[in-house]
Structure 1
């Protein structure tokens, strides 16, 4: 007899609500959205001088109730294990560099692609999902030896070389004067509910407390450590680094940008629930569903908001607003209803008052823009054709946005 998967989860975890969350059909009907009132990011704020204190309050709420706090600062030190040799690629128009840095006992293998003869260039920094070898088909890029999701025996193979190249627009990035820095997110922490026994968590004797970091906060912390390293290079200007991420890594890029003001710009691509989408809308992926299927992403405190979003002291427009006055881009895909494109737009729009208070434009669009027609101020937004992915259209907008904000004074 086949046991239903929901019952297996209940038997294994002893939590009846888990089965309910998995079996419940997601809502995609705007008319069924529960009535809600968004918290005001500017509550108690009447002038720009008061924003920093309010910002710290919001940041602390997100850390305590959702993403989790980094438990110690004793592991922030990085060391360069292998400086990496330079190699010309892309017909000589770019240089490939693969330094290896060590952090909390983990080797982070960086793939750095630089415009030829680079010095102090701006850069995009982003995690990849399956290893550096999937970004560029080059035999000199080693396969990751760490756990890889959705692969046979969770291991990388040569068959995967270049398999994600269509998501990276490497030549377009290089041609526009940017460097690309990428690394496998599993180098920092494996994307699996393993009781926090692997990745950088292995350096700690105990499982994180209820208000301490889940995997998203850990990945965000790792991006800051890579930025530490980039600050030691002459090729990349660490004051002009845009942190970018797709899906769960889009959630990560927003949290990295919120936590680390050194990131000059943040980009969220299809980040959805827990990223740029308004949680109170309960369309597509919900808080209950994300906490059930991916219990390692957030801190344990976030579970109390399952089917209880109205009690959140914040919503995701306030996560976007934490970037202010630095530029931030939120992108959706019209077919990616799971990520709630309208909710992502609303987060960008409701973050705008903070930017305006600080003398920036925010998002120019008064209403959700038509498909494939971006709106760009200090907040950028577009909803493009297609589904849950990163496309050449997306990168075209990100490069245009980054050139405006990171190269305008050159």
Structure 2
């Protein structure tokens, strides 16, 4: 049974907000598309009869990927002009319609407001940290309020604008500064007086415990004389020490990571609380859109070099980072961590997570039309991944000639086979043909993705604008940060 918003909103002339469960939303989209049945996704349980394939000999039922340099007319793209004017727009159109969805023309304006500006430390380095909120204009549908949460951290000693890496992550200040002892004492004296005024019974309590303070001094845990922990410093420390700033943009403040949230968040706001149409944007495109809006804001920050802003993410946020980079050519560089299906992993590969997993279980990341390619029974018959007009190699190619670093870990440490490292490498190899066409350097190998061999773990391919490195850690890109920075600094 559907649940709607209250009568007050409806009485003001706004359509009542639909509140679907994730299953209801999926079924609604299937009805719109005329799909009667979807093929089940692969199981991560090795004991399941439908377990995900991990046999490379069975991984390529559809070995031929779309060639990013063959136009829809069948013409070979042989120069940059044809790429920019003809082929690239064709690929973008297919990705928007069939895979990630379109950003609506009614997407709202964002008004940015700096809530807090603080002087803090990241490791041993002084920084200026700002908490920033971007309010989406919701005058078209006041029942949905979207406030994008973001943190900006810049080296305090920078003499000129710095490059910045935007990361999909919860928005948090790195080390909020505490008032000095003298100021904290003044706060406690004033607070005790207020508490006693509101409740006189507290006066004998405070007299009995004269040393007690309502606000205790915080232990920041920072000891400049303590030895450094073993291993690499945290990502934020490495960025600041190398002269970069960083941004944390919180995906949860933009669009919920579930199907029930599709009539809420920024997608729900633009649809006035109604269910999506088949080519409407999914969460990945919504997160990417918000990153672009954050880039608009960064152009107003004097100490940010807005021509050198990068985008980073891991796992589902690795998918979002790649989508961001592909659709907004203002982002100068990308670090794409363990992005899997819907990211660098080819849909046509039968290894680990499958297209059917996203179409059935994580449909909210994608456009509704993506579900068609998992249909076993529908008004149009059935479709498979091989019917998709585009592939992940072309998504990477949309970033060319801008630098993209593709990062993975190893299954033994938690970067599971589910992600299909081999397939990700194959897509990068194929995308390299576009980098070469545009005068950039790719991985430094041929573009024959069927024969090129994935390099050993910890052997980076970082001599060009397209880079690859599989580290020996888990489901994170942290072990590759220092290599990313070395590579990015070399490309300046």
Same fold? TM cut 0.5: yes
Shift of residue 139, structure 1, vs aligned partner:
7.8
Change (3 A) 1:54 1:270: same
Aligned match for 1:176, one of 217, 238, 242: 242
Decide whether the 8 Å contact of 1:239 with 1:264 is kept in 2. yes
Aligned match for 1:191, one of 236, 254, 257: 257
Aligned match for 2:164, one of 86, 103, 123: 123
Decide whether the 8 Å contact of 1:9 with 1:18 is kept in 2. no
SS at match of 2:279: coil
Question: 5+ unaligned residues in a row in structure 2: which ranges?
Answer: 1-21, 31-35, 138-144, 179-231, 375-382, 447-452
Change (3 A) 1:373 1:86: same
Change (3 A) 1:98 1:195: closer
Change (3 A) 1:73 1:329: farther
Change (3 A) 1:370 1:64: same
Matches within 5 A, 1:70-109: 70-75=103-108, 77-82=109-114, 84-90=116-122, 91-104=124-137, 105-109=145-149
Decide whether the 8 Å contact of 2:41 with 2:360 is kept in 1. no
Shift of residue 97, structure 1, vs aligned partner:
1.6
Change (3 A) 1:184 1:328: same
Q: Residues of 2 paired with 1:48 and 1:324: CA distance?
A: 11
Q: Residues of 2 paired with 1:60 and 1:35: CA distance?
A: 23
Query: What whole-Å deviation, never above 9, does each CA across 1:3-29 have from its counterpart, x for those lacking one?
Result: xxxxx979x959653656566211110
Q: Residues of 2 paired with 1:84 and 1:399: CA distance?
A: 29
Q: Residues of 2 paired with 1:9 and 1:269: CA distance?
A: 29
Q: Structure 1 residues 96-105 or 347-356, which shifts more?
A: 96-105
Decide whether the 8 Å contact of 2:171 with 2:248 is kept in 1. yes
Query: What whole-Å deviation, never above 9, does each CA across 1:237-274 have from its counterpart, x for those lacking one?
Result: 11100111111111111111111110011221000111
Aligned match for 2:418, one of 312, 335, 338: 338
Please tell me the root mean square deviation across aligned C-alpha atoms, in Å: 2.5
Change (3 A) 1:224 1:383: same
> Which residue of 2 is the match for residue 383 of structure 1?
470
> Which residue of 2 is the match for residue 215 of structure 1?
283
Decide whether the 8 Å contact of 1:242 with 1:402 is kept in 2. no
> Which residue of 2 is the match for residue 364 of structure 1?
444
Change (3 A) 1:20 1:349: closer
Runs of 4+ in 1 over 6 A off after TM superposition: none
SS at match of 2:263: coil
Structure ranking higher on relative contact order (CA contacts 8 Å, 6+ apart): 2
Q: Residues of 2 paired with 1:20 and 1:354: CA distance?
A: 32
Aligned match for 1:200, one of 266, 283, 287: 266
SS at match of 2:390: coil
* 1:226 and 2:294 are equivalent in the alignment: yes
TM-score w.r.t. length of structure 2: 0.70
SS at match of 1:98: strand
* 1:271 and 2:339 are equivalent in the alignment: yes
* 1:132 and 2:171 are equivalent in the alignment: yes
> Which residue of 2 is the match for residue 61 of structure 1?
94
Q: Residues of 2 paired with 1:47 and 1:17: CA distance?
A: 41
* 1:288 and 2:387 are equivalent in the alignment: no
Q: Residues of 2 paired with 1:86 and 1:137: CA distance?
A: 9
Shift of residue 404, structure 1, vs aligned partner:
2.1
Q: Residues of 1 paired with 2:409 and 2:437: CA distance?
A: 29
Change (3 A) 1:81 1:97: closer
Q: Structure 1 residues 12-21 or 206-215, which shifts more?
A: 12-21
Shift of residue 192, structure 1, vs aligned partner:
1.4
- The higher radius of gyration belongs to 2
Shift of residue 195, structure 1, vs aligned partner:
5.1
